[in-house]
């Protein structure tokens, strides 16, 4: 194998499958090597700097040092302080879309690959139990306001905190319990003009978030469970372009359909599992504990109480309502013993101020969403488990800060 050519392809845009076929190596090997490499031309000012926060100008200098034009890229720079005088710097650069007379087909395309640089990945702690970290209802999406800016439905700070928690704890599993994307433009409800041409930006932002999760937790199993909003893409194709339903790339019968979220988000390249077929989409921590997006929404009481009432002999992690809660229930087992179960909701990673389209939302004449206090809470969940037992916990996120197992975590976002 030509090592120089192989490294060049790893740093390029070829898919893992294409590189594996070219050099006769397994796709998982390519993915592992791709995570480890860093661009050879990247100066220490960006990729190696640990003692101060990286700036956007640092990133532009990095691109210039590689002989490229920084204005040809959308830059994202995130710096996180994780110790006295120590910083974890992440820089992603995605090519800007080419200009032209009109949109190219397909209008919605796979996300541009994102290369994330992460420092200080901790070793997995010796805890005796497995850990699954739960996030839900990121509702990634945008409105395009009158001045051309994109107003997000998701909360970048809450999402950054979720990434940092996963980096610190190195869980065995990371689970997104549905409604990863909002897909307002594909919904069946009244459309706002501001939803037009925002789906591609949502796909790209979703891929970047998942790429960051994969970068900070390279050993974790990452699962995205389909929710009703994620299902909107399939429903939209079935309703408006049935002839395109199920189309796959040539000679790849086992691949995801071209217009499916796993393909558009490039999940296979990130080594992320997608559980589809909402509302049946389910992932299990062990034989007693399931993870779903959920279908229940009790506006006047506890939704988790409904799950433990309906299925009192199993544990359920469910999302959908954007509320942080946990409910326990004890019932009699087959030999008269007490059987305890629970249902938990980790809360949401989207905004809770009226930005997300909802039945309580309101839009002004200028297209700007009104401020609304939703009965929603931001949060995340922990589930420690072994083969037969589980120990759940839910944690609130308040203004980008969470108290996790006695440690206050605050992640500033530049």
- pLDDT (tens digit per residue) in 196-219: 889 999 999 999 999 999 999 999
User: Would you say residue 42 lies in a domain?
Assistant: no
Q: How far apart are CA 73 and CA 95, in angstroms?
A: 4
Q: Does the pLDDT of residue 350 top 90, yes or no?
A: yes
**E-only strand ranges, 7-159:** 73-83, 86-95, 130-135, 142-144, 150-152
Do 274 and 368 belong together in one domain? yes
User: Would you say residue 365 lies in a domain?
Assistant: yes
Structural tokens at position 79? 């710096």
Q: How far apart are CA 347 and CA 255, in angstroms?
A: 32
Q: How far apart are CA 32 and CA 18, in angstroms?
A: 15
Q: Which of 94-103, 142-151, 274-283, 388-397 has the lowest mean pLDDT?
A: 94-103
Per-residue pLDDT band for 38 (boundaries 50, 70, 90) equals very low
Provide the edge-to-edge strand list for the sheet that holds 130-135.
272-275, 221-225, 173-176, 130-135, 379-385, 390-398, 401-404, 407-410
Contact between 227 and 215 (Cβ < 8 Å):
no
Neighbours of 302 (CB within 10 A): 17
User: Would you say residue 115 lies in a domain?
Assistant: no
Contact between 91 and 76 (Cβ < 8 Å):
yes
Q: How far apart are CA 339 and CA 329, in angstroms?
A: 8
- Name the strand (E) or helix (H) holding 160: helix 156-169
Per-residue pLDDT band for 113 (boundaries 50, 70, 90) equals confident
- Between 156-169 and 199-216, two packed helices, what is the crossing angle to 10 degrees? 20
User: Would you say residue 43 lies in a domain?
Assistant: no
Question: Which domain covers residue 7, as residue numbers?
Answer: 1-37
Q: How far apart are CA 345 and CA 318, in angstroms?
A: 5
Per-residue pLDDT band for 45 (boundaries 50, 70, 90) equals very low
Enumerate residues 6+ apart whose C-beta is below 8 A from 132: 171, 172, 173, 174, 175, 285, 291, 382, 383, 385
**Residue 188: C-alpha distances to residues 10, 63, 232, 356, 374 (Å):** 41, 42, 8, 15, 22
Contact between 341 and 312 (Cβ < 8 Å):
yes
Do 127 and 31 belong together in one domain? no
Rg, C-alpha atoms of the chain: 22
* pLDDT (mean) for 218-247: 93
Contact between 284 and 314 (Cβ < 8 Å):
no
Q: Does the pLDDT of residue 40 top 50, yes or no?
A: no
| Angle formed at CA 349 by CA 385 and CA 92, multiple of 5 degrees | 100
In angstroms, how far is the first alpha carbon of the chain from the final one? Answer: 42
Q: Does the pLDDT of residue 100 top 50, yes or no?
A: no
CATH no. for residue 346? 3.60.21.10
Per-residue pLDDT band for 1 (boundaries 50, 70, 90) equals low
| pLDDT at residue 39, as a whole number | 41
Do 28 and 129 belong together in one domain? no
State the maximum Cα–Cα separation within the chain, in Å, rounded to a whole number: 73
Per-residue pLDDT band for 193 (boundaries 50, 70, 90) equals confident
| pLDDT at residue 50, as a whole number | 58
User: Would you say residue 84 lies in a domain?
Assistant: no
Closest CA relative to residue 320, chosen from 178, 184, 185 = 178
Q: How many helices (H) and strands (E) are present in the chain, helices listed first? A: 11, 17
Alpha helix ranges (H) inside 265-338: 267-270, 304-310
Q: How many domains does the chain have?
A: 2
Q: How far apart are CA 270 and CA 32, in angstroms?
A: 10
User: Would you say residue 117 lies in a domain?
Assistant: no
* pLDDT (mean) for 185-204: 85
Structural tokens at position 119? 């420092």
Higher pLDDT among residues 394 and 97, named by residue:
394
Per-residue pLDDT band for 348 (boundaries 50, 70, 90) equals very high
User: Would you say residue 169 lies in a domain?
Assistant: yes
Do 147 and 26 belong together in one domain? no
Q: How far apart are CA 113 and CA 94, in angstroms?
A: 7
- Name the strand (E) or helix (H) holding 385: strand 379-385
Higher pLDDT among residues 260 and 90, named by residue:
260
Contact between 378 and 158 (Cβ < 8 Å):
yes
Contact between 378 and 348 (Cβ < 8 Å):
yes
User: Would you say residue 264 lies in a domain?
Assistant: yes
Q: State CA 332 to chain mean position distance.
A: 39
pTM: 0.75
Per-residue pLDDT band for 22 (boundaries 50, 70, 90) equals confident
């Amino acid at each position: 194998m030509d090592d120089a050519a192989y490294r060049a392809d790893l740093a390029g845009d070829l898919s893992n499958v294409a590189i594996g076929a070219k050099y006769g190596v397994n796709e998982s090997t390519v993915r592992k090597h791709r995570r480890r490499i860093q661009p050879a031309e990247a100066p220490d000012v960006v990729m190696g700097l640990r003692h101060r926060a990286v700036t956007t100008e640092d990133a532009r200098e990095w691109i210039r040092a590689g002989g490229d034009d920084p204005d040809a890229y959308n830059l994202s720079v995130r710096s996180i302080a994780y110790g006295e005088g120590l910083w974890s710097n992440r820089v992603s650069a995605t090519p800007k879309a080419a200009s032209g007379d009109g949109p190219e087909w397909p209008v919605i395309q796979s996300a541009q690959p994102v290369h994330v640089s992460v420092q200080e990945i901790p070793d997995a702690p010796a805890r005796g139990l497995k850990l699954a970290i739960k996030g839900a209802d990121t509702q990634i999406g945008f409105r395009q306001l009158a001045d051309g800016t994109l107003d997000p439905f998701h909360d970048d700070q809450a999402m950054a905190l979720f990434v940092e928690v996963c980096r610190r704890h190195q869980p065995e599993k990371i689970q997104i319990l549905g409604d990863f994307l909002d897909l307002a433009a594909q919904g069946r409800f009244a459309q706002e003009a501001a939803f037009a041409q925002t789906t591609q930006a949502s796909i790209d932002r979703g891929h970047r978030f998942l790429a960051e999760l994969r970068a900070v937790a390279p050993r974790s199993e990452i699962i995205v469970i389909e929710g009703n909003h994620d299902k909107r893409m399939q429903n939209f194709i079935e309703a408006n372009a049935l002839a395109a339903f199920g189309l796959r790339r040539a000679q790849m019968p086992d691949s995801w359909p071209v217009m499916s979220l796993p393909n558009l988000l490039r999940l296979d390249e990130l080594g992320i599992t997608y559980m589809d077929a909402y509302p049946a989409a389910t992932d299990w921590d062990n034989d007693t504990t399931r993870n779903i997006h959920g279908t229940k929404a009790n506006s006047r009481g506890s939704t988790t109480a409904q799950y433990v009432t309906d299925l009192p002999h199993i544990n359920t992690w469910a999302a959908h309502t954007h509320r942080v809660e946990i409910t326990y229930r004890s019932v009699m087992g087959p030999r008269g013993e007490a059987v305890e179960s629970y249902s938990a909701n980790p809360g949401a990673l989207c905004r809770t101020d009226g930005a997300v389209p909802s039945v309580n939302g309101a839009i002004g004449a200028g297209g700007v969403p009104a401020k609304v206090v939703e009965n929603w809470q931001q949060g995340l969940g922990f589930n420690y488990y072994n083969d037969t037992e589980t120990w759940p916990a839910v944690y609130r996120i308040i203004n980008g800060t969470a108290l996790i197992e006695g440690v206050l975590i605050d992640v500033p976002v530049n």
